[in-house]
Amino acid sequence: MVSRVIPVDPFDLIIFGGTGDLARRKILPGLFRRFCAGQIPSETEIIGAGRSEIGQQGYREFVASAIHEFSKREECSICGLNEFLELLDYISLDAQGERGWADLAARLHPGRLRAFYFSVGPSLFGDLAERLAGGGLTDAGSRIVVEKPFGHDLESAQALNAALAARFNERQIYRIDHYLGKETVQNLMAVRFGNMLFEPLWNSQYVDHIQITVAERVGVAGRAAFYEKAGAMRDMVQNHLMQLLCLIAMEPPAKFEPDTVRDEKLKVIRALDPVEPHHIVRGQYTAAEGVASYREDVDNPRSRTESFIALKCHLSNWRWAGTPFYLRTGKRLRARDSQITVVFKDAPHSIFGPEAGRHRNELRIKLQPDEGITLKVTIKDPGPGGMRLVDVPLDMSFAEALGSDADAPDAYERLIMDVIRGNQTLFMRDDEVEAAWAWTDPVIRGWESRGDAPKPYDAYSAGPDDAAMLIRRDGREWREIGS
Ligand code: NAP
């Protein structure tokens, strides 16, 4: 099934940090794909900005090489790469100085939508907002896109929000969490709110528990300095896992509109109980299978930063009271695997007797590597003899059901085009970000004040044994990573 493409009007997109890693790997290849798909008109202007003096030609070469490296080969040959490069310009400017700003102002087209992508460290967000709005480069329709990390605690997030709010109103600010741009994450809403089947069962009366796992095989090399200060709680739980939790647990919004959806997500975060210290397991990977330990990767033999976290939490609201949510994320785990599993309760009575064993329905939502949704149902084991039961998956792999995903936009493409179309549904609002930090901060402060050290776990394992015990104590098991 080929995705429907609705072209947008020509726009000006300025990428601060246009020579950075994120621009190279995600933003520019994503824009190229949308151009190839016919969504971005050729009058559009994309301006990379950074301090380096590489000039327009140098930037076009940089972008061409990024596209060759990070786009599928066939895309580069079938689509007009040269035509895309024509859209590109580069301006050397300093976010914290005078240099380059007049050049940028001269390049912008009057009357066009302007989007400014802050693909730079958060310490520059305030300067950029000030220079843009103070220098008259924006109007009421202009938009800014900001990247994570959005603060490292509540106080810093509030300060960032205040710095942006001083110059832009909330409707102009797009805080990216690329997990929300994934096809399956949106499908989660479609499955929940487009079907009659699930919603009546979506509560503590029928759901035993919910597991959210975001496992990565990669270590922290390449991001060591940043990660050592952040850890898994700040880097993953406060944003990505929290957003997934919101989507799985929220009430049906009245409409699929930015503020109605975000209002419901906010209510979920505010309903989260504080996490009990004995419901958290922090881990740190050790050397195994030929890869270095976390401490070697960050070059700190005494590091106490966690590269893994597993926790159990509860929501104090009518729908979910009593249903545990188990969250788990980490680096150097057995497989790259992001999934949410909704485990339903046992049938109230088994007519097949105890020998039929325990069978539970499960809805599994896979985010990566292969996006899809599976419903596990119980049927009779085929063949003669007694009534034996087996669990089989009703599989909805998107690649199979909806054709090749080659045409489907990836998360960044979708989100950038949402910015241009002015749709904030999949972006975090200021109060959501702050509520997530307000829940995360005491957890972090708790282990800092106790001086807790993370538990070691072998690289490429499923994490520390204590994480298995966290859920096993409750008579449950994690779904296997990579299954
Ligand atoms: P990066 O590779 O270090 O690039 C930083 C960019 O900012 C460069 O283009 C740099 O260009 C520019 N820059 C730095 N100081 C500047 C200044 N004073 N004025 C103007 N430009 C300046 O960083 P990145 O990995 O692309 O990450 C950018 C942001 O996205 C960060 O906040 C990061 O946490 C976030 N993020 C990154 C990823 C990722 O996969 N990389 C994923 C999620 C979020 P010059 O040196 O030429 O000035």
* Residue 266: CATH number of its domain: 3.30.360.10
Is 306's pLDDT higher than 60? yes
- Judge whether 220 and 294 are in contact, CB under 8 Å: yes
Buried-exposed string 160-170: b where 16+ CB fall within 10 A, e elsewhere: bbebbeebbee
Q: CA 275, 277, 282 angle in degrees (round to 5)?
A: 100
**Boundary of a domain, candidates 147, 166, 201:** 147
- CA–CA separation, 217 vs 221, rounded Å? 12
User: 187 and 128, same structural domain?
Assistant: no
* Any domain includes 457: yes
User: 341 and 404, same structural domain?
Assistant: yes
- CA–CA separation, 322 vs 315, rounded Å? 8
User: 410 and 270, same structural domain?
Assistant: yes
118 CA distance to ligand 1 middle (Å): 8
Please report the pLDDT score of residue 483 as a whole number: 79
Please report the pLDDT score of residue 209 as a whole number: 98
Sign of CA dihedral 350, 356, 357, 358: negative
- CA–CA separation, 301 vs 294, rounded Å? 9
- Judge whether 447 and 277 are in contact, CB under 8 Å: yes
130 pLDDT band (50/70/90 cuts)? very high
Specify the DSSP class assigned to residue 220.
S
* Any domain includes 162: no
395 is in an annotated binding site: no
**Of 16, 116, 120, best ligand 1 pocket probe by most atoms within 8 Å of the beta carbon:** 120
- CA–CA separation, 344 vs 359, rounded Å? 10
Q: What is the DSSP string of 276-321?
A: PGGGEEEEEEE-BTTB--HHHHTT-TT----SEEEEEE-B-STTTT
**Of 24, 93, 104, 119, best ligand 1 pocket probe by most atoms within 8 Å of the beta carbon:** 119
22 is in an annotated binding site: yes
**Boundary of a domain, candidates 147, 166, 199:** 147
Q: What are the angstrom distances between the C-alpha of 52 and each of 19, 242, 278, 318, 384?
A: 8, 37, 49, 55, 74
Between 390 and 405, where is the model more confident? 390
Q: CA 50, 56, 58 angle in degrees (round to 5)?
A: 80
Q: What are the angstrom distances between the C-alpha of 36 and each of 22, 33, 39?
A: 20, 5, 8
The count of C-alpha atoms lying within 13 angstroms of the C-alpha of 163, restricted to the half-sphere facing its C-beta, is 21
The residue written with tokens 């300060």 in the block is: 159
380 is in an annotated binding site: no
Q: CA 99, 102, 107 angle in degrees (round to 5)?
A: 125
334 CA distance to ligand 1 middle (Å): 30
User: 185 and 143, same structural domain?
Assistant: no
> How many domains does one find in the chain?
2
User: 125 and 222, same structural domain?
Assistant: no
- CA–CA separation, 438 vs 444, rounded Å? 11
* Any domain includes 124: yes
325 CA distance to ligand 1 middle (Å): 35
**Ligand 1 residue neighbourhood (C-beta within 6 Å):** 16-23, 50-52, 94-96, 119-122, 124, 147-149
* Any domain includes 160: no
Instruction: Provide φ and ψ at 136, rounded to 5°.
Output: 75, 25
User: 361 and 224, same structural domain?
Assistant: yes
User: 190 and 88, same structural domain?
Assistant: no
Considering only CA atoms, which residue is closest to atom 43 of ligand 1?
Answer: 148
Cis preceding-peptide flag for 382 (omega within 30 of 0) = no
Q: Which atom of ligand 1 is nearest to the CA of 25?
A: 40
305 is in an annotated binding site: no
* Any domain includes 411: yes
Q: Tell me the pLDDT tens digit for each residue of 451-471.
A: 889 999 999 999 999 999 999
167 CA distance to ligand 1 middle (Å): 22
- Judge whether 210 and 323 are in contact, CB under 8 Å: yes
Q: Which atom of ligand 1 is nearest to the CA of 94?
A: 19
Considering only CA atoms, which residue is closest to atom 6 of ligand 1?
Answer: 17
5 pLDDT band (50/70/90 cuts)? confident
Q: What CATH number has the domain bearing residue 79?
A: 3.40.50.720
166 CA distance to ligand 1 middle (Å): 23
User: 122 and 188, same structural domain?
Assistant: no
Residues known to be catalytic = 240
290 CA distance to ligand 1 middle (Å): 31
Please report the pLDDT score of residue 398 as a whole number: 63
- CA–CA separation, 347 vs 359, rounded Å? 8
- CA–CA separation, 136 vs 103, rounded Å? 13
Mean residue pLDDT of the chain comes to 93
322 is in an annotated binding site: no
- CA–CA separation, 441 vs 233, rounded Å? 10
Please report the pLDDT score of residue 78 as a whole number: 61
Please report the pLDDT score of residue 402 as a whole number: 58
User: 204 and 141, same structural domain?
Assistant: no
Structure tokens at 226: 């940043």
Domain that holds residue 69: 11-147
Q: How many CB atoms lie within 10 A of CB 218?
A: 12
User: 407 and 329, same structural domain?
Assistant: yes
Considering only CA atoms, which residue is closest to atom 38 of ligand 1?
Answer: 22
Parallel, antiparallel, or unpaired for β 143-146 and 173-175? parallel
Is 81's pLDDT higher than 60? yes
Instruction: Provide φ and ψ at 115, rounded to 5°.
Output: -120, 130
Considering only CA atoms, which residue is closest to atom 32 of ligand 1?
Answer: 121
Terminal Cα distance for the chain, rounded: 27
21 is in an annotated binding site: yes
235 is in an annotated binding site: yes
* Any domain includes 163: no
Considering only CA atoms, which residue is closest to atom 39 of ligand 1?
Answer: 22
**Boundary of a domain, candidates 147, 162, 197:** 147
- CA–CA separation, 33 vs 71, rounded Å? 8
User: 226 and 87, same structural domain?
Assistant: no
Please report the pLDDT score of residue 380 as a whole number: 86
401 CA distance to ligand 1 middle (Å): 38
107 is in an annotated binding site: no
Enclosing H/E stretch for 134: helix 125-134
370 pLDDT band (50/70/90 cuts)? confident
Q: Which atom of ligand 1 is nearest to the CA of 121?
A: 32
Please report the pLDDT score of residue 75 as a whole number: 63
User: 315 and 223, same structural domain?
Assistant: yes
Instruction: Provide φ and ψ at 175, rounded to 5°.
Output: -90, 115
* Any domain includes 481: no
* Any domain includes 338: yes
| CA 124 remoteness from chain centre | 22
Nearest C-alpha neighbor of 93 from the set 83, 103, 79, 107: 103
381 pLDDT band (50/70/90 cuts)? confident
Q: Percentage of residues in the chain with pLDDT exceeding 70?
A: 96
What beta strand segments (E) does 352-442 contain?
Answer: 362-368, 372-380, 389-397
**Of 14, 16, 22, 218, best ligand 1 pocket probe by most atoms within 8 Å of the beta carbon:** 22
Q: Tell me the pLDDT tens digit for each residue of 135-157.
A: 999 999 999 999 988 999 999 99
122 CA distance to ligand 1 middle (Å): 9
